[in-house]
Chain A
């Protein structure tokens, strides 16, 4: 089983739509969670960290459900510039190599006008 599983999509939505991505992780001891964004032929960049209580950054909302080992990202009022691949990222905590992050394969989003 992979450490991080994501629906690869693609998701194709019109401008202004709300879209949600989900991700599951296998290690219940994971402590750090992130969403990264990768534009076509570019390097990944951090979009936001995911905190236990959930957190919001403008149009983006991230949620964490530890009991279900599930992370989500909600994008409201989608913009054309949101078109990218969204990577779910977790760390594997105590008992293994600390600091190493595990990346999902990404969910592709295309926002059309």
Chain B
């Protein structure tokens, strides 16, 4: 079946511009996560959506970052007034979630963002 998809795969933007990154999770997965990974670094948690619950936004690095998940499916991560330090690979993952415990997270291929 189809996995997690992300678009665009690559995005080059100028400092100060806004960008939108899209994630299509696996159908039926109730949980959706955004992470970012800078070159040679580990995964940095950004935000987590679970069903209709309020999202866990504790990982968002600044108020320039926001995310939405519409209809419990597709999610958009928006970065306003991009800065060079925002350059990274942005990864989306989704999973089933039953009994409050997380099942396997399946990752999309990521969006490589470069801010010039």
Contact = CB atoms under 8 A, between A and B. Distances in A.
Contact of B101 (A45, A98, A106): A98
Interface in A22-50: 31-32, 34, 42-46, 49
What is the interface residue range for chain A against chain B? Answer: 20 to 34
Contacts of A43: 91, 107-110
Contacts of B56: 97, 100
Nearest to A6: B42
Contacts of B31: 99
Contacts of B13: none
A106 B105 contact: no
Closest 5 CB pairs of A and B: A105-B42, A43-B107, A98-B100, A103-B43, A99-B102
B111 to A, nearest CB: 11
Given A44-B91, A49-B104, A91-B101, 8 more contacts: A43-B108, A43-B109, A44-B43, A98-B97, A99-B101, A101-B102, A102-B45, A105-B41
A42 B6 CA distance: 13
26 contacts: A32-B101, A34-B104, A42-B109, A43-B108, A43-B109, A45-B107, A46-B105, A46-B106, A91-B102, A93-B100, A94-B100, A97-B56, A98-B100, A98-B101, A98-B102, A99-B31, A99-B48, A99-B50, A99-B100, A100-B33, A100-B48, A101-B33, A102-B45, A103-B43, A103-B45, A106-B42
B105 to A, nearest CB: 6
Contacts of B33: 100-101
Per DSSP, chain B at the interface is strand
Contacts of A100: 33, 45, 48, 56, 102
A71 interface: no
In this complex, the member of B43, B45, B48 whose beta carbon has the largest number of chain A beta carbons within 10 angstroms is: B43
